[in-house]
Amino acid sequence: MLHRLSLTPDDHRIARLTAAAIAIALVESAVPSPLPGVKPGLANIVTLLVLLRYDWATAAWVTLLRVLAVSLLVGQFLAPGFVLSLSGAIASLGVLFVFRPLVTHHSRWFGPVSLSILAALAHMLTQLLIVRVWLVPSPGVWVLAPVFFGAALFFGMLNGLIVAWLMQPNGYGVASSENLPHNT
Amino acid sequence: MNCFPKQKIKTLLRPGDVLILLVGIAGWAILTLSLWQSGPAAQAQVRRDGVLVAAYPLSEDRTVSVVGPLGTTMIRIESGRARVVSDPGPRQYCVRQGWLTRPGEMALCAPNHISLTLTGGQPVYESMAY
C-alpha cells in the first residue's frame, strides 16, 4: 500500500537551502587546492545562516544532506573523503549546538564569526584525528597540523564575516531578518 | 553612502569574536612553535633495514662505518651534526644531502639499506612519513 508523503513547509525550506549549499560546495570542489583538506568551506555559510535564522535541527538537516549529495555527485560516497566530510560535519554541528546560545543570547558580544571559527576548528581537529588513527597511522601527520589549523582559523573567520555581513540588520544584507518575511 | 562605516565593521566582528580569534591565533602560534621548532639535535641513529644498529651522541666527533649489502657506508659525526661521507650506492643521494643538523632530518642510503637519522632530546616527528 502506497502512502503519499506529505511535505511540510519545513521540508521545502530544507530542500531549498540544501540546494543552495550543494551548489556552493560543488563549485568549490572544482577549484584545485594546494593541500588536500584545505578549502574555504563556503557551503558552511549556508549552515550558519540557517542555524542563526532558523534553528539547529534545520541546520543539521541542510548540512548532512549537503555532505551526502555532494559526495554522490563527485563520486566520493563512502570513500575516505566522504567519511572525513561527514565526521567533520558532525563535529561542527555538535560545536554549533553547544555554542549557538552564545550568539542568540549574547549577540552584543558574540556574532557569527565566533561560531564559524569554533566550528571550523572542530571540523579540522576531527578530520586530523581520523586521518591519524585510520588513514595515516603515523605521528608525522601532526607536522602539517599548523597548516591545517591556520587554514581553519582563516577560513572560519572569513566565512563568519560573510555570514555577519549577509545578516546585517535593517535590510542591508540578503539574510537580514527584515528580508526574510517567512521567518518567525 | 559610505560602504564600510566603522559601526558596521563593529557589528560584523563583535568583542567576543575578537577574543576567540585572538585565543585561536595564540593557540595556533603555540602549536606551530612546539611542532616545528624542536630543540637541537642530540643523537645520530644508524639503521640497517629499518633496525637500529647504533646510536651516537652528537657531542663527540667520530667516524663510523656500517656494512650493508653493497658495501661500507661511512658516516661522520662532527660538531653537533652528522653526514654520510661515502656510500656504495649508484646515485649518491644520501652523500649529496650533506650535513644533517636538525632533529628529524634523515639521510637514506636506500641501495645499501642504511639510514642516518638525527633525533633530539625527546622523540620528534619524522618528516619522512609524509
Q: Is the pLDDT of residue B128 over 90?
A: no
CATH of the domain at B115: 2.60.320.10
Q: Phi first, then psi: what are they for B45, rounded to 5°?
A: -110, 130
3-state per-residue secondary structure call for B46-105: EEECCEEEEEEECCCCEEEEEECCCCEEEEEEECCEEEEEECCCCCCHHHHCCCECCCCC
Minimal C-alpha gap between A102 and chain B (Å): 9
Which tops the pLDDT comparison, B19 or A11? B19
Inter-chain CB proximity B127 and A102 less than 8 Å: no
Q: Which positions ≥6 away from B21 have C-beta within 8 Å?
A: A113, A117, A153, A157, B13
Which residue numbers of B have CB closer than 8 Å to A's CBs? 8, 11-17, 20-21, 24-25, 28, 31-32, 35-36, 125-130
Chosen for mutation from B1, B7, B9, B12 (greatest number of chain A CBs closer than 10 Å) is B12
Starting at the edge strand that comes first in sequence, how are the strands of the sheet with B43-48 ordered?
Answer: B51-57, B43-48, B114-119, B106-109
- Let me know whether B17 and B47 are in one domain: no
Q: If you average pLDDT over residues B32-48, what whole number do you get?
A: 80
Beta strands in chain A (DSSP E): none
Q: Is the pLDDT of residue B2 over 70?
A: no
Element (H, E) at B108: strand B106-109
All three cell numbers of A78: 563512502
Closest by CA position to A165, among listed B21, B2, B11, B20 = B11
Minimal C-alpha gap between B87 and chain A (Å): 28
* pLDDT tens-place string over residues A18-45: 999 999 999 988 888 878 778 899 999 9
Q: Average pLDDT, whole number, for chain A? A: 88
Confidence band of B34 (pLDDT split at 50, 70, 90): confident
Confidence band of A174 (pLDDT split at 50, 70, 90): confident
Q: Which domain holds residue B113?
A: 43-129
Q: Please state the domain count of chain A.
A: 1
- Let me know whether B57 and B29 are in one domain: no
Q: Does A4 map to a domain? A: no
User: In whole angstroms, what is the distance from residue A116 CA to residue A31 CA?
Assistant: 22
- What pLDDT does B77 receive? 92
- Let me know whether B60 and B123 are in one domain: yes
Q: Which domain holds residue A21?
A: 12-27+36-178
Q: Does B1 map to a domain? A: no
Q: Does A86 map to a domain? A: yes
Q: Phi first, then psi: what are they for A52, rounded to 5°?
A: -90, -30
Q: Please state the domain count of chain B.
A: 2
Confidence band of A183 (pLDDT split at 50, 70, 90): very low
Q: Average pLDDT, whole number, for chain B? A: 82
Contacts of B128 in chain A (CB under 8 A): 140
* pLDDT tens-place string over residues A37-74: 788 999 999 999 999 999 999 999 999 999 999 999 98
CB pairs under 8 A between A and B: 84
Q: Does A184 map to a domain? A: no
Q: Does B48 map to a domain? A: yes
pTM of the predicted structure, to 2 decimals: 0.69
User: In whole angstroms, what is the distance from residue B96 CA to residue B84 CA?
Assistant: 8
CATH of the domain at A166: 1.10.1760
Helix, strand, coil shares, percent, chain A, to 5? 70, 0, 30
Q: Does A95 map to a domain? A: yes
The percent of residues above 70 in pLDDT, for chain A, comes to: 92
